[in-house]
Structure 1
Amino acid sequence: MTLTTTYTLDKPYFYECFDESVAHSKRAQPKYFLLALLVALGLFGIYGLDDHYLGSFLIMVAVLECIAFYYRRPWWVTRQMLSKASGSEVTLTFDEEGIKSSNFYKNTQLLWSDINEVITTERGILLKNKKGMQYISKHILTAETLNFIHKKATQ
């Protein structure tokens, strides 16, 4: 059985991809330990070592980390939009071996045996493997394709 679907790598797709996958990634929460460490070292630099430049620098790095966390969504989408694949059409092929993804710039294959977990989200599915996660929107999948993915990935 072979099932095929296509979609375009555009800004709404990238926003959906980020929104649905961030909760299941390591970047779901700020790096609290790093922030506390930077602030503590900054305060130690200011008050303990009497080096205001070093202390201020470390505290500003902590502030920059907070800003980076706050703006991670638009930053990630912007990086995707600047890639050469942005705007191109992707063809997904689901067969007995796995999932093949192809567009003008790149061809990849994810084997069913490499998938560790299938996570169903509100708007799509996440396929976890050793290398990371792959997101597929439900808007481009039929009910038959969703059932096929769940069946093959859990074998």
Structure 2
Amino acid sequence: MNYTTSFTLDRAHYKECFEQSNALQPKSNSRFIKPVVMVLFGLFFYATKIDGISAHLGAFFFILAFVEVLNTIYARGWWVTRQMLSKAAGNDVTISLNETGLDINSDFVKQSIQWTEITSATPTEKGLVLKVNNASHYLSKSCFSEDAWQFINSKVST
């Protein structure tokens, strides 16, 4: 089968990528360990009272901890905003399927993924998360025809 599709890297696509990929991650309170450690560093530097540096360094760690908490709480908005500020945002991506694999082309990325390189494929509600060399690639079901989607599933399940 040879199939080619295109889509635009817009806010809706980035939101779907984040939500579907993040749904696979286990939720734990360990994500708040980093800000707690930063607050402890801030308290340490305030308590040591080294002239000229302690107050500034302590405040720096408090602010860093605050930013890290915001990053944790607003992870989706933070990630989507960073993607929208990237040079790839708003560009068209073309994905071609064939018997050997996927070809992904845009103004900034030219990548080929062989079906044999895919170590795992995890279905989500709206697509598929592929693992290739410890990297994740999300394919949205909405970008492919039903036949192409069945072809992808047959290739990644073997």
**Alignment TM-score, normalising by the size of structure 1:** 0.82
1:12 corresponds in structure 2 to: 12
Aligned length: 154
Task: Tell me how far 1:133 sits from its aligned partner.
Answer: 0.8
User: Which residue of structure 1 lines up, in the alignment, with residue 90 of structure 2?
Assistant: 87
One-letter amino acid of the counterpart of residue 23, structure 1: A
Rounded Cα–Cα distance in structure 2 between residues aligned with 1:106 and 1:34: 33
1:29-65 per-residue CA deviation (whole Å, 9 max, x = no partner) reads 7633322222222223334x24444333322221121
Distance verdict in 2 for CA 1:26–1:57, change over 3 Å: farther
- The aligned counterpart of 1:36 is 36
What are the superposed Cα offsets for residues 2-33 of structure 1, whole Å, 9 maximum, x if unpaired?
Answer: 12222122221111111111233599876333
Taking a change above 3 Å as real, the CA distance of residues 80 and 55 of structure 1, as seen in their structure-2 partners, is: closer
User: What SS does the corresponding residue of 1:24 show, helix, strand or coil?
Assistant: coil
Tell me if 1:68 matches 2:71: yes
| Alignment-derived partner of residue 60 in structure 2 | 57
Identical amino acids, percent of aligned pairs? 33
1:121-151 per-position Cα deviation (integer Å, ceiling 9, x unaligned) = 1111111121411111111122322222122
Tell me the distance in 2 between the aligned counterparts of 1:60 and 1:82: 23
What runs of 5+ residues in structure 2 fail to find an aligned partner? none
The one of 134, 148, 151 equivalent to 1:148 is: 151
SS of 2:138's partner is: strand
**TM-score, with normalisation over the residues of structure 2?**
0.80
Structure 1: tracts of 5 or more residues without a match? none
